[in-house]
Structure 1
Amino acid sequence: LWNYDGTAIYEYPHSDVGRSEWGSCNFMHSRGEVRSFLQSAANYWLEEFHFDGLRMDAVSNLIYWQGDTARGENRNGIGFLQEMNRGLKNLHPEALLIAEDSSTYPGVTKAVTDGGLGFDYKWDMGWMNDTLSYFQAPPAERKQRYHQLTFSMQYFYKEHYLLPLSHDEVVHGKATILQKMYGDYEGKFPQARALYLYMFAHPGKKLNFMGNEFGQLREWDEKRQQDWEILSYPVHDAFHRFMMDLNKLYSENPALYEMDYDPEGFRWLDCHQEERLIYAFERRSGKQRIAAVFNFSDEVQEGYVLEVKEGASLSLLISSEMESWEKQKIPLKEGKTVISLPPYSGRYYLVEE
């Protein structure tokens, strides 16, 4: 559409706002025919191809001129998003509308009628960047980075966040999720299992890109299929089975998802073990409690006192360091128990009162 009739019809005629940082042209959202074209295109994928939803890239470049907060808000871009999302929801109430937005603009997932942008979810880019950089770091450095994994809960309830390990994280030389884990080949698998246990226990909906579920080592390429043959290697097959078990467990335990956006659904049990790299928190639903505990160090952590208030016992639901696990029941004395945590490990315990 660029320069369609020799002039700038769909895009800005001015070079200072006419092109994005990726070299593509910016649509001029103040023009009705441009908005209509984009809204019709979005509706087309939902109406004709029955897509489950749409994810909009670089929403901050629509909110702010060139994505730069110093340039101020682009009211035409904001108005376009509100108009489009309101219309899509009217036509397709079940469709998921997701914003990839790196800014702190408020109300991205608030209803348009309440002054928001009308998205269902917003990618939690902060969680993604902090978490992956933490797991790329050697254990000795993680002590200084400890609160990279606690920071997300300081802002989490401002939006309806989605935790994305997406296509963006497995292309352009960034390496796959398994490759990102610190250390050698064998050491990457226990860390990746612990990472996914942490991700699935953290509040917010989950996005995991194809290939991550069986530990692909090659970056994603749209010209090739996934490397399914590596499932013939026992360590990859075991990782795949672990991910299947984790997905099944997630779907069967409402404490892990029912109160994602309710502050009552999450509580830190311990977030001040900087030297030992231990984290513990509790997830809740109306009828269920789950305690999640992690050791992200490369050492066994002996004699850790786990305190779970108003609990009588703990039953092990899943453990990252075992290919198979049995339900172990641990009694609590005055809400406390002493456990040993293997290196690079995570566990979920069902709290019984």
Structure 2
Amino acid sequence: MLSMASPRSAIRDAHRVVVKIGSSSITAPQGGIDSYRLQALSTVLAKRCLAGGQMLLVSSGAIAAGMTPLGLTRRPKDLATQQAAASAGQGNLMAAYTTAFHLHGLTVGQVLLTADDTHRRSHYVNASRTLERLLELEVVPIINENDTVATEEIRFGDNDRLAALVAQLIKADALVLLSDVDGLYTGHPREPDSERIGVVSSPEQIADVHITAPGSKVGSGGMVTKVAAAQMCATEGIPVVLTSADQAAQALAGEDVGTLFEPTGSPKNARRRWLAHATHVNGRLILDRGAVEAVVKRQTSLLPVGVTRIEGVFHAGDTVDLCDPQGEVVARGLVGYDSDELGGLVGRRLDTDRMNHARARGSGVRTVIRRDDLVVL
């Protein structure tokens, strides 16, 4: 009898891998870079590169690295001081990575992104091209959020989401999320009866799990953001391992460490992938049951007659969520109307006189969202 391949073989055999490392795994508790741990991680990734793989590292740590130079003992909470710490720490962080990878004969390249770079379609495409070119040149991209200039309104909020977006952006074969926790547990990791969850095959499997993790003085993320990022990639057909930085080598080798999130969906095309995960949502449209059926099952364009309520303020071309009568998000798309204009059309059919008048003006009859500008979630 032939043995079935291990579900973790997809991680072991992955050619293009995105690895995310949290601040607490490469910096000291009171701030500053932990050179030993950063070098250990770099060595693991370098070995994979030298064996023919492609590695992209999404690294937190700029703010934590800047705490010591600025005399701070705790991660700052206000945005201005965070930006100042990132400015002081980003150079130190890249210098450390440059030195660490150079020991293995590898070159690194810094890539700083803001959420705006993924929300805007042109920026999204350009970021993809830049990362692809770096990989062609056998450079290891070191990616971080541009904390120095990002504002509260356009921040990713944590690098777990950034890592998931990067994995989708460059069609990675796998994502590895590293932190100071060695996996997802059935309860708090410190509770004696908590057990590590080895494999997650569907969101329903962990629906009743209380997702939590010990806090960090230097990090901004948590287990909630890691699970959300893992599930985001799983829906796009990308396997994800969540484990501790100390188990990075074992995770990449496909060993039974941490928690593996198996793929639950298939990759979308680039435009639909961008719509589903990278755009900023500006409002919500509540649909009746008939419109939900048409949009989700038949994948038709959305007409005004199917909209029962609008929420939020948006403009034509903005991204909005489409919700069923209970408020659950079922799809997402680029709306063809301003919210003020659409408010007067909610629930109305486009009668013959209106259609003829629109044609006479040469403007055509606009749908609320065209099928090509819509993705089912």
**Per the shorter chain, which TM-score range?**
0.3 to 0.5
